[in-house]
Amino acid sequence: MPILSTLLVLGGTGEARRVAGALVTTPGLRVVSSLAGRVKAPSLPPGEVRIGGFGGTAGLAQWLRDNRVDAVVDATHPFAARITAHAVRACATTATPLLVLSRPGWTAGPGDLWHWVRTPTEAAELLPDLGRRVFLTTGRQDLAAFADLDLWFLVRAVDPPEPPVPRHAEVLLARGPFTVDGERDLLEQHRIDVLVTKDSGGIMTAAKLMAARDARIPVVVQRRPPLPTGPGVELVATVEDTVAWVRDRLEV
Ligand code: NAP
């Protein structure tokens, strides 16, 4: 069957892989998933994949034109705000429908000891009041904010971080999903007394929050950047709603 429509999925998340997986066999639909190329051995979505930046808003707009893209799904991580802003502008310029898939953030429950911060710097300022042995799960970026603290860090990341990193640190290379038992063991083994996380949401990395609650360990949670707004920006929270939107928009 000839290609009738082309969909670009901005990815790098489990949700993006599921969206691609649900749509990739749709007759007449070309689904291209895009990854930034940050991770050395990324989890690849099913189907066609391109890897690497587009070259800003203008580069993305050009790519949409060159590939005759009919719709864009931005299923990037809630903290990947730059590519989302580029998608909003590039889609507006090229009159391409855009759907942003933003999974819900986490909410504290009974027994949680959460401290909300806006930035890694705020997290670093707060940490000495909360503990001495920190489980830092905010990824490889933004470690510089913690570099000068006189605390011990267990830094978990997918790939080895580049300096500057905390002075007293052990790096644990791992990729989710994680289990509550596994997270509980990590907290105990390393005598962790405070956890730092972004409000990533989703189930892949939520187990650490339950383990911290059980151990009565405080958690520093970095707030998300604001969601994009404006004419033409549509938002959903689930993979199912995303797939339904694509089918409806592209009539596939
Ligand atoms: P970002 O700050 O929003 O984007 C930085 C630049 O990376 C963008 O300007 C773009 O380069 C390129 N880029 C980002 N996502 C891309 C994609 N899906 N396809 C092609 N180019 C992309 O992004 P980030 O926070 O560095 O995250 C990079 C990727 O990792 C994202 O795809 C995201 O879904 C995934 N991820 C991020 C986090 C996180 O905590 N930030 C966590 C898990 C996964 P050009 O300007 O050259 O186009």
Assess whether pLDDT exceeds 90 at residue 214: yes
Please indicate whether residue 228 or residue 59 has the higher confidence score (pLDDT): 59
Tell how far CA 190 is from the center of its chain. 26
Print the domain residue range for 205: 114-222
How far apart (Å, rounded) are the C-alpha atoms in residues 230 and 194?
38
- CB of 207 within 8 A of CB of 182? yes
What is the atom index within ligand 1 of the atom nearest the CA of 85? 3
Ramachandran angles phi, psi of 42, nearest 5°: -70, 155
pLDDT digits (tens, 9 = 90+) for 141-192: 899 999 999 999 999 999 999 999 999 999 999 999 999 999 999 999 999 9
pLDDT digits (tens, 9 = 90+) for 39-92: 999 999 999 999 999 999 999 999 999 999 999 999 999 999 999 999 999 999
13 lines ligand 1 (CB under 6 A): yes
The answer to whether residues 231 and 214 belong to one domain is no
CATH number, domain with residue 37: 3.40.50.720
- The reply to whether 137 falls in a domain is yes
- The reply to whether 40 falls in a domain is yes
Grade residue 232 by pLDDT with cuts at 50, 70 and 90.
confident
Give residue 146's pLDDT. Answer: 97
What is the atom index within ligand 1 of the atom nearest the CA of 198? 40
Going from the Cα of 95 to the center of ligand 1, the distance in angstroms, rounded, reads 22
pLDDT digits (tens, 9 = 90+) for 9-48: 999 999 999 999 999 999 999 999 999 999 999 999 999 9
The answer to whether residues 162 and 218 belong to one domain is yes
Grade residue 108 by pLDDT with cuts at 50, 70 and 90.
very high
Give residue 57's pLDDT. Answer: 98
C-alpha distances (whole Å) from 148 to each of 52, 137, 164 are 32, 18, 9
Q: How far is the first Cα of the chain from the last one, in angstroms, to the nearest whole number?
A: 12
Grade residue 195 by pLDDT with cuts at 50, 70 and 90.
very high
Give residue 2's pLDDT. Answer: 82
The answer to whether residues 204 and 229 belong to one domain is no
Protein residue with least CA distance to atom 25, ligand 1:
80
The answer to whether residues 208 and 233 belong to one domain is no
What mean pLDDT is predicted for residues 96-112?
97
56 lines ligand 1 (CB under 6 A): yes
- The reply to whether 109 falls in a domain is no
The answer to whether residues 167 and 90 belong to one domain is no
CATH number, domain with residue 133: 3.40.50.1000
The answer to whether residues 229 and 168 belong to one domain is no
What is the atom index within ligand 1 of the atom nearest the CA of 39? 30
Alpha-carbon torsion 106, 112, 117, 123, what sign?
negative
224 lines ligand 1 (CB under 6 A): no
Going from the Cα of 4 to the center of ligand 1, the distance in angstroms, rounded, reads 28
Q: Which residues of 188-210 are buried (b: 16+ CB within 10 A; e: fewer)?
A: eebebbbbbbbbbbbeebbbbbb
Grade residue 138 by pLDDT with cuts at 50, 70 and 90.
very high
How many domains are contained in the chain? 2
204 lines ligand 1 (CB under 6 A): no
Assess whether pLDDT exceeds 80 at residue 1: no
97 lines ligand 1 (CB under 6 A): no
* Test site for ligand 1: of 13, 60, 82, 196, most ligand atoms within 8 A of the Cβ: 82
How far apart (Å, rounded) are the C-alpha atoms in residues 250 and 29?
9
